[in-house]
Amino acid sequence: MSRKVLLVGDGAVGSTFANDLLLSTQVDELVITDVVKERPIGDSMDLEDITPFVGSCNIHAGEYADAKDADVVVITAGIPRKPGETRLDLVNKNVKILKSIIQPVVESGFNGIFVVSANPVDILTTLTQKLSGFPKNKVIGTGTSLDSARLKVELAKKLNLSVESVNSIVLGEHGDTSFENFDETVVDGKPLSEYNELNFSDLSNIESDIRQKGGEIIKSKGATFYGIAMMLAKIVSAILENNAIVLPLSAPINGEYGIKHDLYLGTPTVIDGTGISHVIETKLSDKELAKMVNSADKMQEVLEGIELN
């Protein structure tokens, strides 16, 4: 059975994702589309040059109509965040772009899985599901997977341990209302609370550093893309290979954490060839549960202010 992916958006994230995916997964056809028509042509030619090392793949520029027989449509297209802007500042700009993508993709006859990384990702993932009418398990957002990677890096640095030894996640919105799951964090087999070298001030600084890291990278080099591109490649690889993995992603909330809103939010999620297999309601302290509910409330406020028609 042929494995086909349509990438919508060939900026820094999209092109890095395409490279990472081809390095990690056998793909039979990769179609790239972008509003700047010349870029996917050049990127396709450039990516062809790695096929002698990773295996054959039909890589070419295309259109939304090419989604008709694709397994996955990956959406990275959108206006990137500028220095000083929050992800939520991008809502109205990127909702308009999203609508222009979803309609023609659905009209093509696409029956695969949407994977969204454009920001604000929880809002745009929720809207992708509503605009497409697809089953909720077939729409996935990158959620807090990047935040969680950043958390692992910071904790490993502070404790002078390997990043692989850190088991900790960020939950909620991929944005200002996200929070670190410190109360349940385990490092090198021990609860984080047993590490006396980290006090409350240290944890607060870690939270602040994680929240500001994206902005700092944008200030220095104009965009962040390596981490999120790798997350996208992991998600798409799991779908194509039907390999169940768990990541903190934008997933559909259906009463988990006592949340009544109909939206997507960052929580541990099992994905496989069917898309979202399970949404995991992870254990939270009362304090963290309140933060999760607050994050959902803030997302709902934004959603209520968006006109889809």
- Residue 1 has a pLDDT of 73
Positions marked active-site: 174
Sign of the CA dihedral with 91 first, then 96, 99, and 101 last: negative
CA distance 309 to 307: 6
Q: Give the pair of three-digit tokens for residue 80.
A: 């990137």
Per residue in 44-54, pLDDT (tens digit) is: 999 999 999 99
Query: pLDDT at residue 18 above 70?
Result: yes
Sign of the CA dihedral with 300 first, then 302, 305, and 309 last: negative
Calculate the CA dihedral of residues 48, 50, 52, 54 and round it to 10 degrees: -120
**pTM, two decimal places:** 0.94
Bond before 80 cis per omega within 30 degrees: no
- Residue 83 has a pLDDT of 72
Q: Are strands 113-116 and 72-75 parallel, antiparallel or unpaired?
A: parallel
Per residue in 131-183, pLDDT (tens digit) is: 999 999 999 999 999 999 999 999 999 999 999 999 999 999 998 899 999 99
Collect all residues with Cβ–Cβ distance below 8 Å to 131 and sequence separation of at least 6. 98, 99, 102, 103, 106, 308
- Residue 273 has a pLDDT of 97
- Residue 299 has a pLDDT of 94
Which domains, ranges and CATH numbers included, belong to the chain?
Answer: 4-141 (3.40.50.720)
- Residue 87 has a pLDDT of 58
Query: Which of helix, strand or coil describes residue 6?
Result: strand
pLDDT grade for 86, boundaries at 50, 70 and 90: low
Query: pLDDT at residue 81 above 70?
Result: no
Query: pLDDT at residue 89 above 80?
Result: no
Query: pLDDT at residue 33 above 80?
Result: yes
- Residue 82 has a pLDDT of 72
* Least confident interval from 87-101, 175-189, 191-205: 87-101
* Least confident interval from 18-32, 130-144, 182-196, 262-276: 182-196
Per residue in 107-130, pLDDT (tens digit) is: 999 999 999 998 889 999 999 999
Mean pLDDT of 14-32: 97
Other beta carbons within 10 Å of 44: 19
- Residue 136 has a pLDDT of 98
Calculate the CA dihedral of residues 221, 123, 168, 203 and round it to 10 degrees: 70
- Residue 307 has a pLDDT of 73
Q: Which residue has the higher pLDDT, 120 or 80?
A: 120
Tallying the residues shown for the chain, one arrives at 309
